[in-house]
């Protein structure tokens, strides 16, 4: 029996990188993982990897920036499982551009996925978490949220907004037994970064945040290597 046994976990961006690594580990720990993303083929590949290891998952193609898609996810999970215990808001996009050079379309695209998407996913999951008086939400952030960086204007702003959203949710939902935190994994090797450590190396931190006890941290920012409570590597 894993530490997430029978929990229903929703993971965005689950078709690759950190999202896939998180989904694989959560399934290994006994969770039923709802794999969310825009590329069904990649999600199904993640689902096959989970199944081959004896785990359970469901691939759902959706655009997290689309309220209709997100509500469809909510209805599917409510009908199939009647609960959502964990939400990992991992999906993100980045397009390089300075303030002077970034088009409005590029700005809106990054804000809609990185910030609005997390808002919509959280809003859809909260009712099912409230029903059980239990929930753990982990929002994946970046050091650019605090520091900014030339050439990353929309991405940096979206992550800064995500951190404020996290603290707001934490304050609003604590009375419902829901803990919400943010995690900065540092530089990891993904489709957005050619260098860095493997995504699986930081997943124990995310697992620790997803399995916090009742009076665990809430509304806090954690960075890679900064969780002494990390569930065994």
Q: Provide the domain count of the chain.
A: 1
Is 179 a domain residue? yes
**Separation between Cα atoms, residue 219 and residue 180, nearest integer Å:** 6
What ranges in the chain are assigned the alpha helix state H? 17-28, 40-52, 67-81, 104-111, 117-132, 144-147, 153-173, 203-210
Contact 36, 91 (CB under 8 A): yes
Residue 233 lies in a domain: no
| Integer Cα distance of 163 and 118 in angstroms | 11
| pLDDT, tens digit (0-9, with 9 covering 90-100), for 191-215 | 666 677 899 999 999 999 999 999 9
Beta bridge partners of 37: 61
Structure tokens at 92: 């993100």
Q: What pTM, to 2 d.p., does this model score?
A: 0.94
Is 140 part of a structural domain of the chain?
yes
Q: Which residues are catalytic?
A: 155
Residue 101 is part of which domain span?
Answer: 8-223
Tens-place pLDDT, residues 58-101? 999 999 999 999 999 999 999 999 999 999 999 999 999 999 99
Does residue 229 lie in a domain region? no
119 lies in a domain?
yes
Count other Cβ atoms within 10 Å, centred on residue 171.
Answer: 12
**How far is residue 181's CA from residue 174's CA, in Å, rounded to a whole number?**
11
Give the CATH number, domain containing residue 24. 3.40.50.720
Within a domain: 2? no
Residue 42 within a domain = yes
Name the pLDDT band for 147 (thresholds 50, 70, 90).
Answer: confident
Only one residue has tokens 């961006």, namely 13
Is residue 3 in some structural domain? Answer: no
């Amino acid at each position: 029996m894993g530490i997430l046994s029978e929990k229903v976990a929703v993971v965005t961006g689950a078709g690759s990188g950190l999202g896939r690594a998180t989904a694989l580990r959560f399934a290994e720990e006994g969770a039923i993982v709802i794999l969310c993303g825009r590329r069904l083929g990649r999600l199904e590949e993640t689902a096959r990897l989970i199944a081959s290891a004896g785990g359970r998952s469901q691939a759902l193609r959706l655009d997290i920036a689309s309220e209709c898609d997100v509500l469809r996810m909510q209805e599917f999970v409510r009908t199939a499982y009647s609960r959502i215990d964990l939400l990992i808001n991992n999906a993100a996009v980045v397009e390089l551009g300075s303030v002077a050079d970034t088009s409005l379309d590029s700005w809106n695209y990054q804000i809609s996925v990185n910030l609005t998407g997390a808002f919509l996913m959280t809003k859809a999951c909260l009712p099912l978490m409230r029903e059980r008086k239990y929930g753990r939400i982990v929002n994946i952030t970046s050091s650019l949220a605090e520091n900014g960086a030339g050439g990353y204007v929309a991405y940096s702003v979206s992550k800064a907004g995500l951190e404020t959203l996290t603290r707001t949710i934490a304050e609003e939902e604590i009375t419902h037994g829901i803990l919400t935190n943010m995690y900065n994994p540092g530089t990891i090797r993904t489709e957005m970064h050619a260098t860095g450590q493997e995504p699986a190396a930081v997943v124990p931190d995310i697992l620790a945040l997803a399995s916090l006890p009742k009076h665990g941290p809430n509304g806090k920012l954690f960075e890679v290597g900064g969780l002494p409570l990390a569930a065994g590597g």
